[in-house]
Amino acid sequence: MASTTVDAVIAAPRDVVYRLFADRESISPYLPIKVKLTKPGLTEREGVGAQHLLGVGPLGVTEEITKLVPGERMEYKIVKGAPVKRHVGVVTFTDADNGTRVSYTMESEPSLPVPAKVLEFGLKNLITQFIKAAQKAVR
């Protein structure tokens, strides 16, 4: 299993930054891939249970939101489309001097033999793309 965390400060209030990550489609215009809601959440459109396809056209991975604490935390898991036994993401949000500190962790257990360092490098790149997209979105 590989795990990677990236911390960054995004120059916007916490509720704005949280919404960019929790409402997965809102960040899509700033990513090199598309994010599309494929199944609404149990009690709200972008709530717990919501599933999103991340990719190009019909190809990609499906994430499911598993936990939301408004303004503080979101968690998701990959449920389809990736060769993994388990993949989870946890994003936390705290106040910082110049905006919101985002701490984004991905943990992944591949079903194929992949060296941990290679997987960690890939996870770090994915996280960085989401953080850069959020930074662009708030400009």
Quote the pLDDT of residue 58: 82
Residue boundaries of the structural domains of the chain: 2-137
Quote the pLDDT of residue 117: 92
Interstrand relation of 2-10 and 59-69 (parallel, antiparallel or unpaired): unpaired
* Distances from the Cα of 13 to the Cα of 31, 38, 138, angstroms: 21, 28, 10
Closest CA to 82 of 116, 120, 108: 108
User: What class, spelled out in words, does domain 2-137 have in CATH?
Assistant: alpha beta
Residue 1 has pLDDT above 90, yes or no: no
What average pLDDT does the structure give for the chain?
A: 95
Taking the C-alpha atoms of residue 113 and residue 40, their distance in angstroms, rounded to an integer, is 34
Contact call for residues 109 and 86 (beta carbons, < 8 A) = yes
- Hey, what amino acid is at 101? R
pLDDT tens-place string over residues 71-122: 999 999 999 998 899 999 999 999 999 999 999 999 999 998 889 899 999 9
